[in-house]
Chain A
Amino acid sequence: AQSVAQPEDQVNVAEGNPLTVKCTYSVSGNPYLFWYVQYPNRGLQFLLKYITGDNLVKGSYGFEAEFNKSQTSFHLKKPSALVSDSALYFCAVRDRRSSASKIIFGSGTRLSIRP
């Protein structure tokens, strides 16, 4: 069965510092991997995805994520955090063996950037 783990409920970072939001997954074979963000009173917005190719994926708002097959991880990173990055972040996975498979989400990590 597919699963996604986000081990940290909350991550606190000072503005200007690098940030990392962790994600590990469990799925047979190579998955499609996604990061979404939810701002207050808004729906989920797509940030970035890994399909194939370069393990380092760049996305919206300066975010990037690195696919690590051996560690089954897909951590979200940003070199310099902004206060406006404060939001709820979800990692998600889809089994690529079937084009009709569902997307499974992690429990979310609340990112708080202090000025």
Chain B
Amino acid sequence: EAGVTQFPSHSVIEKGQTVTLRCDPISGHDNLYWYRRVMGKEIKFLLHFVKESKQDESGMPNNRFLAERTGGTYSTLKVQPAELEDSGVYFCASSSQGWDEAFFGQGTRLTVV
């Protein structure tokens, strides 16, 4: 069974540019989460999809961040325009049931310069 995959693994962009991160969850997992870890700090929740619906987007920092989940399958997280403080590692995770553990992807390391 394939795990959660994220693309790209690294991205370096200039301030003001746009970046789109992609996450492919484990097949059949209805729950998909995005998290971000800024250097040395906690893993912060960004948002949670159940199938194609946004269940909870309370962690999205501002309207420069846009997440979508097409047809309840893969998800994208777009940052437009990127700012320096957006740098960090963005993790995607998926789970089957609410009580199940979440399986994480390798993360995308985003650096905004």
Contact = CB atoms under 8 A, between A and B. Distances in A.
Interface of A: 32, 34, 36, 42-46, 49, 51, 90, 94, 96, 98-108
Contacts of A51: 99
A37 to B, nearest CB: 11
28 contacts: A36-B104, A42-B106, A43-B4, A43-B106, A43-B107, A44-B43, A44-B93, A46-B102, A46-B103, A90-B43, A96-B98, A99-B97, A99-B99, A100-B31, A102-B45, A102-B48, A102-B56, A102-B59, A103-B33, A103-B93, A103-B102, A104-B45, A105-B35, A105-B42, A105-B43, A105-B44, A107-B41, A108-B42
Contacts, number: 58
Given A34-B102, A105-B44, A107-B41, 18 more contacts: A34-B101, A36-B104, A43-B4, A43-B91, A43-B107, A45-B104, A94-B98, A94-B99, A99-B97, A99-B98, A99-B99, A100-B98, A102-B48, A105-B35, A105-B43, A105-B45, A106-B42, A108-B43
B25 interface: no
A100 B56 contact: yes
